[in-house]
Structure 1
Amino acid sequence: MHFVRAKGIFTSDYGINIYRGCTHGCIYCDSRSDVYQMNHKFEDIEVKENAPELLKRELIRRKPFMIGTGAMTDPYIPLEKRLKNVRKCLELIYRYGFGFACLTKSDLVLRDIDLLKKINEKTKVVVQITITTADDDLSRIIEPHVCPTSRRIEVLKKLKENGIPTVVWLCPILPHINDTEENINLILDACIENEVKGVLNLGMGLSLREGNREYFYKKLDEKFPGLKKRYIEEFGDSYFIHSSDNRRLRAILKRRCNEHGILHNQDEIFEYMHRFPEKSVQTTLF
């Protein structure tokens, strides 16, 4: 890892990136793409050492809104266990009455369940968990340095027990690897059982562009011999590639979500996560 002193903390949509880079080792990670212009090795985590300081400066002078993190880098990478920068930011978010939404694959999020619960009681919290496969053995291959799916489902259960809303990112889905009806249904079973608010799927497929395509193909050669050739023949240099079963699998997802009152429309889910609750405004007024 290496430290930097950042000049700002918020992205254009009020997200924060406390870290840049990741050590989860997911073979499909789009954040490796050249388009993000990361000027250091992906596994050499850039730590914004002044992130809490920058966040406090911004929160003091703004009206409350939802703050998000995890779009580029999982906030709960192993370094966070020692550095606790996310926790420091959560303490500020709670103190100044803001809401919080995060995206993670890590069970380290449970370390902060006390703060997440307090923020949710005061304003709003949404924890998003990525689940790509119901098979722990496959999860350990395609997401080798993060807790397996069964543990993430335990995280969903624990969050439900503490009244914290959750959204599952059911993506990416890798053609010829996890694009099966059985896999999708097993993940949906867990979502239904744990009463998730939404299931977000951007298509039964994945994005591949310069930077992450090369890494992905390298890992296909290592873990799934012969599959890279099939990908090249089927998809060429396409940016987003879909499973040949995309429509049918998406139809299953929509039907089952509708049956159980789970959001599945992308726009509706993002609107829900960005919407700051009226109850907190009323609390401020009275």
Structure 2
Amino acid sequence: MNIYRGCTHGCIYCDSRSEIYKMEHEFEDIAVKRNSLSLLKKQLIKRPKAMIGTGAMSDPYMPLEKNLEFTRKSLELINRYGFGFTCITKSDLVLRDLDLLKKINEKSKVVVQMTITTADDDLCKILEPGVCETSKRVDALKKLNKEGIPTVVWLCPILPYINDTSDNINSILDFCIDANVKGILCIEMGLTLRKGNREYFYKKLDQHFPGLKEKYIEEFGNRYSLPSPNSKQLMSIFNKKTQKHGLMNNPQEIFQYLSHFPQKSLQSKLI
């Protein structure tokens, strides 16, 4: 489910800027799918119960959601028709809807997925300037855990020569352990670039990390996948620490967990 198109978070690495998605307007000029709620209702009425996901292409908790409340109204429908819900976000605005998330979780299942790329709030403001800093996201994870809402963290992207340090990875993992997350999703230590987001990313490197663009071009050329030179060491830290603390760390296992709809929900009644 994508009820918005585009994003105002301004993350310098965002893949959703890529030309492959055929965005026909400025990325920060958000397109609001005004019929999305009626379309969602039609689908919920006729489809078997399942998990409803959102946030893969556009954060459902951008600042404009404060007033439009399309995400909240979607949650009201999902709760009414007895479906489950999961979202990917970088915003603590998700806490506004804690009342609905708890209701859905009581009847079926909710998982809030939060992206964290750096433990440093100052660096976060450079990499993700239009969204709340890491410390507020960690606080949100703790509050969600306290209210019984399961959480998963996306540890990505890890940008070569920027946030690909053992200190950063260890600190993020410690945050996740402290917040009692169910799992941490990290496919590899690196990032991906393609036409559209590559040009924006390089422009931001020139602005905030002078000289680094040239290093990227020399080392990676126009490759889609840009692994960190520290990837092996960082993945070892990631695997050892998550295993020690009993956190899910296998991407396939996590995706199965996110998509699994519990049997108890099949007996939910409409409210």
TM-score > 0.5 by shorter chain: yes
Verify: 1:146 aligned to 2:131, yes or no. Answer: yes
1:217 corresponds to: 202
Which of 30, 33, 37 is matched with 1:45 structurally? 30
Cα deviation code 1:178-220 (max 9, x no counterpart):
0000000000001111111110012110010000000000000
Residue 281 of structure 1, CA deviation: 2.2
1:166 to 145, 148, 151: 151
Q: Select which of 168, 178, 183 maps to 1:198.
A: 183
Q: 1:245 aligned to 2:245?
A: no
SS of match in other structure, 1:27: coil
The one-letter code sitting in structure 1 at the alignment partner of 2:237 is I
Query: What residue is the counterpart of 1:20 in the other structure?
Result: 5
SS at match of 1:202: coil
Which runs of no fewer than 5 residues in structure 2 stay unpaired? none
Q: Residue 254 in 1 paired to residue 228 in 2?
A: no
For residue 278 of structure 1, report the CA deviation from its aligned partner: 1.4
Tell me how far 1:61 sits from its aligned partner.
Answer: 1.2
In angstroms, what is the RMSD of aligned CA positions? 0.8
Give the secondary-structure state (helix, strand or coil) at the position aligned to 2:64: helix
Superposition pairs of residues 53-202 of structure 1, within 5 angstroms:
53-202=38-187
Which residue in the other structure is 1:269 paired with?
254
Letter in 1 for 2:174: D
Gaps (5+ residues) in structure 1? 1-15
CA distance in 2, matches of 1:205, 1:124: 31
Amino acid of the residue matched to residue 274 of structure 1? Answer: S
Greater mean alpha carbon deviation, residues 202-211 or residues 275-284? 275-284
Instruction: Report percent identity of matched pairs.
Output: 66
User: Which contiguous aligned blocks of 4+ residues in structure 1 show a shift greater than 2 angstroms?
Assistant: 281-284
Paired residues in the alignment total 269
Counterpart residue number, 1:278: 263
Whole-Å separation in 1 of the counterparts to 2:196 and 2:57: 14
With the length of structure 2 as denominator, give the TM-score of the two structures. 0.98
